[in-house]
Homo-oligomer: A and B are copies of this chain.
Amino acid sequence: MNKKVSLKDIAQKVGVSTALVSYVLNDKRQNRVGKDLAKKIKKTATTLNYRPNQIAKSLKTNKTNTIGLIVADISNPFSSQIARAIEDEAEKNDYTVILGSSGENAEKSAKLINIFLERQVDGIIICPVENTQAQVRYLHKINIPFVLLDRYFPEVKANHVSVNNFGAAYMAVDHLIKQGYRNIGMIAYKTSLVHLQERTRGYIEALRNNKQSFKKSRLKELKMGCTQQEVEKAIDQLLKQPVDALFFTSNTLASCGIKYINKLHIQVPNDLGIVSFDETEAADLFYAPLTYIKQPIDEMGKQSLHILLDKISGKKKMITSNIDGELIVQRSSVLE
């Protein structure tokens, strides 16, 4: 390996003292240094490819200022947006995020947890997938700071940040009923994940409280990762009953769904009302812009990071946070 760039090299290039370079690069006493000079020092460090001796730094502080994040599927916009929100907040707090995607697979999740632990992250934020209760218990046992995000297991004690899924789903279906829709179908997932079951429970409760009977045939439960064809088949079966409104439990299902409904030339909202849980890029561009539950992604990202930082700094208290979603009403669910 080549000789590493030292603080001295940077100091010489900029023409200042080594101590001053150290102050600036360690973000200390910045008020003593002019903004432009600090900028110049940082830029020179980048240009010369200065690498602080992280291992030595870690030994001193016993921290790596790195956190691990495990999302459920990086190709889902929800995952990539929440990753971005956590990244941005981590940056402000001088932490760097390294990220892994479990692809909704418990074995891969275990692998990623091991990789992060062996690479000495200070803590982990996890969107846990099905059948990973043992992994969460293990993290608890070895006393590593961690926070569950979006999903959690009611039977396993853990800090977590989630959306009020029941409340948001209830609000969506209640809105459809208040608009005059009478035969509301739901396309959901068959899953042991509680946050998704809560959405289905919200649908059923909203029907009951509005004195509409819940019919099992109107609830289609597809497997996670199902194909466009499977969504189309479910929609065909619902339309035949017939239903006059559809509630999709996820952005992926809604996105498949409106592509198909677009092809079928069904008149939304008059022949069919639609509400989706979570956004899709497409929501605003569908000819009848979609009503959807906006998940508080930025807030979820921020809160999970700050709970994790609290844990890293030694706070013991369990924290769980349940944030309300927001119903964004657009044309797809408002009878004309």
Contacts and interface: CB of A to CB of B under 8 A. Distances in A.
Q: Which secondary structure characterizes the binding site on chain A?
A: helix
A49 B107 CA distance: 9
A215 interface: no
B66 A75 contact: no
A80 interface: yes
B47 A74 contact: no
Contacts of A83: 74-75, 101
A63 B138 CA distance: 26
A89 interface: no
A82 B76 CA distance: 12
Contacts of A117: 51
User: How many subunits of this chain does the assembly comprise?
Assistant: 2
Contact of A99 (B46, B99, B107, B255): B99
Interface stretch (A11-19, A176-184, A284-292, A306-314): A284-292
Contact of A285 (B75, B84, B143, B259): B259
Interface stretch (A108-116, A147-155, A160-168, A234-242): A108-116
Interface in A102-145: 103, 106-108, 110-112, 114-120, 131, 134-135, 137-138, 141-143
Looking at A52, A97, A137, the one whose CB has the most chain B CB atoms below 10 A away is: A97
A141 B2 contact: yes
A114 B75 contact: no
Contact of A84 (B51, B75, B137): B75
A212 to B, nearest CB: 30
A172 interface: no
A98 B96 contact: no
Interface string A274-289: 0000001110111100
Contacts of A79: 80
Given A99-B99, A282-B282, A282-B285, A49 B135 contact: yes
Contacts of A135: 49
22 contacts: A46-B131, A49-B138, A51-B110, A52-B114, A73-B84, A75-B83, A76-B80, A77-B80, A83-B101, A84-B101, A87-B103, A91-B103, A91-B108, A96-B100, A96-B108, A97-B100, A98-B115, A99-B100, A119-B120, A255-B281, A259-B284, A281-B281
